[in-house]
Structure 1
Amino acid sequence: MTQQGEYAVVVKSGALDAVATVPGSKSIAHRALICAALARGDSTIKGLPVGDDTQAMLQGLMMLGATFSLDGADAHFEGSIDLDRMDAITVDANLAGTTARFLTAIGALRRGAITVTGNESLRSRPMRDLHLALEQLGAGVSWQNEKYYLPVTVRRGKSYSHSVQVAADTSSQFVTSLMLIAPMLDKGLTIELTGNIVSLPYIAMSASVMKSFGANVRILDERNIVIDGGGYVGCQFAVEPDASSASYPFAAAAVVGGRVCVNGMSSNMMQGDSRFVDVLRQMGCEVLEDQVGITISRHAN
């Protein structure tokens, strides 16, 4: 970087020979942060990505009473959020839609009311399907301005349904929001997905992260998910490298020739974008996986 906002671009001729490190997956990190904040016992999450969205999630969890410390890209959580606190709080998600959706759902668990808001852009996004599902569950939901938009206030209900329907044709995050709070309900939750389902791999990702924290999640088919009560248990959790970011250096090796290794990548990752490696293999690239990561190689022309 030369001056603020300016970067020097180095043009390299010939075949590549490089090792790359990409940030952790934001999608996985946000799910893990929620699980860690709700889990019994201590948790350490390694490899958090740096960015405004991660910062918004951490600030929101701090407002909820989560106790954690940061050490570089790692976060250590001590115990769980006290969901019986009576104080009303307001969380500003700024631009972070994931933070707004996930923390809105946590409002259904907390005795004191949570008001979730954001900047003008986020306040213009409809949250109807999530808010309807939380009402159906039994939570108290109210709006400061327009119905089904932020700011929204959510309160713990007197009793909860054991099953809920949620539209899955707009965003898988509405489904994930309900999944994340389900283990904290005494009798768990059965979730039925309606509409044309989008982003099914992200729902599977949510289940995988939750299972790492001890949740019992069963995806019966593409429309039915059963999650038992019993809560989460703290653990050591490593955030996978972001597979989408890794696709760029991998593609460079395929186009230019040579070899590129991306640290931490593996063939059994949660992210659907990790299958890009299979596409490169079909194109004739050599794929080598070892303890370091995955290396893509192709002979230069």
Structure 2
Amino acid sequence: MNLKLEHYSKPLNGNIQITGSKSESNRLLILKQFFSNLTIENLGNSDDANYMQKALASEEEVVDISHAGTAMRFLTAYFAVADGRETVLTGSKRMKERPIKILVDALRSLGANISYELNEGYPPIRIQGNKLSGGKVVIDGGVSSQYVSALLLIAPSLENGLELKFEGKITSVPYIKMTLGLLASIGVKVKWTDSTIFVQPQKEIEDTTAIVESDWSSASYYYSLVALSEEATITISSYKEHSLQGDSSLIQFYKELGVTSTFNETSLTLKKELPCKNHIEFDLVSAPDIAQTIAVTCFGLGISCDLTGLHTLKIKETDRLEALKSELTKLGADISVTNKSLHLKASTGINKDVLIKTFDDHRMAMAFAPLLLKTSLEIEDANVVSKSYPDFWKDIESLTK
């Protein structure tokens, strides 16, 4: 379904309840498999979380997780320790192009029995679950944090726990800290010293209720709307001032783009108050999922930007850097990208009625939507937002009707 967005120029005011974090939901769903007395509240309703739940409940040999990249990484580790179960883990055409070798190699070093069904280093993979004793694993610090989190989530179930040593600079530290924070919150003993993480084995926990915070990546689109508006006050729920999610750095990034953030218990009010800068430079190595939103915001504001730390965007649902370059260029942007950065020059106008291709990427659809405050445009395959935020278009309509 393509969706036509008409230009909207009135002030924005409203209250939005955003679904639970996809990242927190998926981590807690894995942990619940090891600790049945863990109760989860405000679980996200994203496609990714739904695929994770279906996969964990499935008794079939073949488990298809479609586009759910987080589920692919986390389930690879989980099924590796599912003693006595044989599983073929597969996904969409794009998922079969996304590398899994680094995680498979790490699991094999712990004794996991995993083989490739088609192409070496890529899904689908066949996993023969067995009891792993754990121990020491060495991994490149520059890999996706999802590989690291996948290992950390199964660590309490390992007889000897896990000693995870990084080589080189560590990528996406906040996502690793999120995983460790959730482990600690349910009573698992963790320690991060210099370049090594230690997770102690744990068979049982006390009865625990974990409340999933709303998704900060989803909040980014409201930050963009407020930044691009002439006048706006939007309250979003439910958010914590001291969040485990790395994308909460939105507060500081968007302050430079004219948006103030005010917490009130579990809600967050965004307001257009400050003048924005003419040029910004952000290192997004700790929050790469908000790069698309920031790039589109800067284009809509007519300002230049240099965004770095984006090397993990090459292996997401699409090559997000090339996708941004393609679609922003259609709108009139002067933009260039490398394998790890994006560079946008200041612009003076935006083309009308452009069809934005989403490349099966939910964040492409949502990142471009706020441009309706500057021009009319059309979003291809608008339903792709269900991957992380099924109610997105309904919530946007409530602000612009």
* Other-structure match for 1:63: 58
Structure 2 contact 40–212 (Cα < 8 Å) conserved: no
Matches of 1:168 and 1:47, distance apart in 2: 30
* Other-structure match for 1:127: 100
- Tell me which amino acid in the other structure corresponds to 1:293: S
Change beyond 3 A, Cα 1:284–1:125 = closer
The reply on whether 1:95 has 2:91 as its aligned counterpart is: no
Structure 1 contact 213–232 (Cα < 8 Å) conserved: no
TM-score of the superposed pair, with normalisation by structure 2: 0.62
* Other-structure match for 1:74: none
- Tell me which amino acid in the other structure corresponds to 1:250: Y
The reply on whether 1:16 has 2:17 as its aligned counterpart is: no
* Other-structure match for 2:388: none
Superposition pairs of residues 44-193 of structure 1, within 5 angstroms: 44-51=40-47, 53-63=48-58, 89-112=61-84, 113-157=86-130, 160-193=133-166
Structure 1 contact 56–99 (Cα < 8 Å) conserved: yes
Change beyond 3 A, Cα 1:159–1:31 = closer
Query: 1:291 deviation in Å?
Result: 1.6
Residue-by-residue CA offset, 1:63-119 (whole Å, 9 max, x unaligned): 26xxxxxxxxxxxxxxxxxxxxxxx83322222121111111112212222221223
Q: Secondary structure of the residue that 1:120 maps to in structure 2? A: coil
Matches of 2:110 and 2:219, distance apart in 1: 39
Superposition pairs of residues 197-236 of structure 1, within 5 angstroms: 197-221=170-194, 223-231=195-203, 233=205, 235-236=208-209
Q: Secondary structure of the residue that 1:110 maps to in structure 2? A: coil
Residue-by-residue CA offset, 1:110-137 (whole Å, 9 max, x unaligned): 2222221223321222211111101101
* Other-structure match for 2:35: 39
- Tell me which amino acid in the other structure corresponds to 1:260: I
Structure 2 contact 81–131 (Cα < 8 Å) conserved: no
* Other-structure match for 1:238: 211
Residue-by-residue CA offset, 1:186-240 (whole Å, 9 max, x unaligned): 221101122442211111111112222222121223x211000014635222221
- Tell me which amino acid in the other structure corresponds to 2:268: I
Q: Secondary structure of the residue that 2:8 maps to in structure 1? A: coil
Query: 1:289 deviation in Å?
Result: 1.3
* Other-structure match for 2:269: 295
Matches of 2:252 and 2:225, distance apart in 1: 15
2:238 to 260, 264, 270: 264
Q: Secondary structure of the residue that 1:145 maps to in structure 2? A: coil
- Tell me which amino acid in the other structure corresponds to 2:65: A
Structure 1 contact 254–296 (Cα < 8 Å) conserved: no
Matches of 1:158 and 1:293, distance apart in 2: 43
Structure 2 contact 134–159 (Cα < 8 Å) conserved: no
**Total equivalences in the alignment:** 272
- % identical equivalent positions: 28
Query: 1:143 deviation in Å?
Result: 2.3
Tell me which protein shows more helix as a share of its residues.
2
- Tell me which amino acid in the other structure corresponds to 2:56: L
Which consecutive unaligned segments of at least 5 residues does structure 2 have?
A: 276-401
Query: 1:42 deviation in Å?
Result: 4.6
Which consecutive unaligned segments of at least 5 residues does structure 1 have?
A: 65-87
Matches of 2:131 and 2:218, distance apart in 1: 44
Change beyond 3 A, Cα 1:115–1:12 = same
Query: 1:283 deviation in Å?
Result: 5.8
Matches of 2:44 and 2:28, distance apart in 1: 10
The reply on whether 1:278 has 2:252 as its aligned counterpart is: yes
Which segments of structure 1 move beyond 6 Å, counting only runs of 4 or more?
A: none
- Tell me which amino acid in the other structure corresponds to 2:83: R
Query: 1:249 deviation in Å?
Result: 1.9
Q: Secondary structure of the residue that 2:80 maps to in structure 1? A: coil
Matches of 2:225 and 2:108, distance apart in 1: 48
Q: Which 10-residue stretch deviates more, 42-51 or 106-115?
A: 42-51
Q: Secondary structure of the residue that 1:297 maps to in structure 2? A: strand
Change beyond 3 A, Cα 1:16–1:177 = same
- Tell me which amino acid in the other structure corresponds to 2:151: L
Structure 2 contact 14–234 (Cα < 8 Å) conserved: yes
Matches of 1:39 and 1:93, distance apart in 2: 23
